Amino acid sequence: MVATSEYIVCDLKNGVLVITINRPDKLNALNKQTIEELHEALVEAENQHEIRSIIITGAGQKAFVAGADIAEFSNFSVAEGKQMSSIGHFKIFNFIENYSKPIIAAVNGFALGGGLELAMACHLRVVSDNAKMGLPEVSLGLIPGYGGTQRLAQLLGKGKAFEMIVTADMITAQDAYKWGLANYVTTQEELLNKCFEITNKISTKSPTAIKTAIKVINAGYNNNLNGYEVEIEEFGKAFGTKDFKEGVGAFLEKRKANFKGE
């Protein structure tokens, strides 16, 4: 089990950890404490073998996350702004992107600024039909600082990313789907069920192979690495895992594999 804290509710269901960001009166805006608590929950969950995947969502019916907490950074200096961005990248956004288990964002309403950046750092996004998504930072005299300038262009292409960032426009769930930002769109009622449909599939597969796949896919977006070379290396290493023996053994014996993640 992973501990619940003031702003982060953790609920473990059949090997899936559902993390709910719980500041509904502030539309789940990410203040420093929420970032710390989310980081701690993710660190705790990483070493728990029974947890195969994670879903992150927002409390209430209105918002996933409406961004970084504007009140909290309103008087920041240049140095404090830089530190805020750098801590966020390290503790949440890069941390999630490179996490060893798949993380799905269940976007149940507004995903703005840091909220959309959080959803984009996750490996998949399932979006409810009432959701509005955007990077409105230029309205505040800022730019996205939690990876939005990079990940939006990776997911949507440079042209649409430029448009969304320089106009600060929000897009609908259907547009997010059309542009490849959302894997699926559902009703708000069906949102978690759709996520569980995906996590149920993940739970039957090899955790070691999934961890490696995340690493190798991300390698292709790292300018210091050659994704193809990393793939060759990691493909070879997979043959040394117990999960490989189990997966191939199960196929040849015509039975279901029982992966231990070793």
Contacts of 224 by beta carbon, 8 Å cutoff, 6+ apart: none
Q: What's the closest the beta carbon of residue 119 comes to ligand COA, in angstroms? A: 13
**Of 67 and 102, CB closest to ligand COA:** 67
Binding site for ligand COA (CB under 6 A): 26-27, 29, 66-71, 110, 112-114, 136-137, 140
Q: What's the closest the beta carbon of residue 140 comes to ligand COA, in angstroms? A: 6
Q: What's the closest the beta carbon of residue 145 comes to ligand COA, in angstroms? A: 8
Nearest to 210 by CA among 51, 89, 14: 51
Q: What's the closest the beta carbon of residue 150 comes to ligand COA, in angstroms? A: 16
Chain-centroid distance, C-alpha 109 = 16
Nearest to 124 by CA among 76, 182, 203: 182
Contacts of 119 by beta carbon, 8 Å cutoff, 6+ apart: 64, 65, 105, 107, 111, 125, 133
**Known active-site residue 163:** no
**Of 42 and 66, CB closest to ligand COA:** 66
- The catalytic position among 72, 80, 97, 137 is 137
Residue 152 DSSP code: H
C-alpha distance across the termini of the chain, in Å: 21
The amino acid occupying position 248 is V
CB contact at 8 A, 143 and 121: no
CB contact at 8 A, 4 and 13: no
**Known active-site residue 117:** yes
**Of 102 and 115, CB closest to ligand COA:** 115
**Of 58 and 113, CB closest to ligand COA:** 113
Catalytic residues, by residue number, are: 117, 137
